[in-house]
Amino acid sequence: MTTYYANHREQMREQNRSYERANRDKRAVYKANWYADNIDRIKMEKHTRVFCSSCGKTICAGWMTEHKKTRAHLANVQRSACREAGVNEFLTYEPNG
Ligand SMILES: [Zn+2]
């Protein structure tokens, strides 16, 4: 954190908050228009098929964030890390361990 920011942090935050309050409606309209203009591109990007190199699966790009949290994917990542480290026995994946 820079010294200027540290000294003026609350003042800068209050300026941002007052700007947000003053321009809330304008920003809402802008966001709605932007979304309407870009909806086709967003849908196309979400439906693009991408390859997960850890699992060897082809999945939707929109599902990729959730896929990275799945138990199977995390286990595959751990297996490949063990393989790269030269460990022969696969460790079992423990979600909270
Ligand atoms: Zn995966």
Q: Which residues neighbour 90 within 8 Å (Cβ) at sequence distance 6 or greater?
A: 78, 79, 82
What distances in angstroms separate CA 17 from CA 13, 14, 53, 85, one per listed residue?
6, 5, 43, 49
Report CA(14)–ligand 1 centroid distance (Å): 43
Report CA(57)–ligand 1 centroid distance (Å): 7
Report CA(40)–ligand 1 centroid distance (Å): 27
Q: What is the mean pLDDT of each run of 10 residues along the chain (97 residues)?
A: 90 96 96 97 94 92 94 91 76 56
Report CA(11)–ligand 1 centroid distance (Å): 45
What distances in angstroms separate CA 71 from CA 17, 25, 60, 75, one per listed residue?
40, 42, 18, 6
pLDDT given for residue 80 in this prediction: 86
Report CA(93)–ligand 1 centroid distance (Å): 14
Q: How far apart are CA 76 and CA 92, in angstroms?
A: 10
Structure token pair of residue 55: 């699992």
- pTM greater than 0.85 (yes/no): no
Structure token pair of residue 33: 């228009």
pLDDT given for residue 15 in this prediction: 96
Q: Which residues surround ligand 1, an ion (CB under 5 A)?
A: 52, 54-55, 73
Report CA(35)–ligand 1 centroid distance (Å): 30
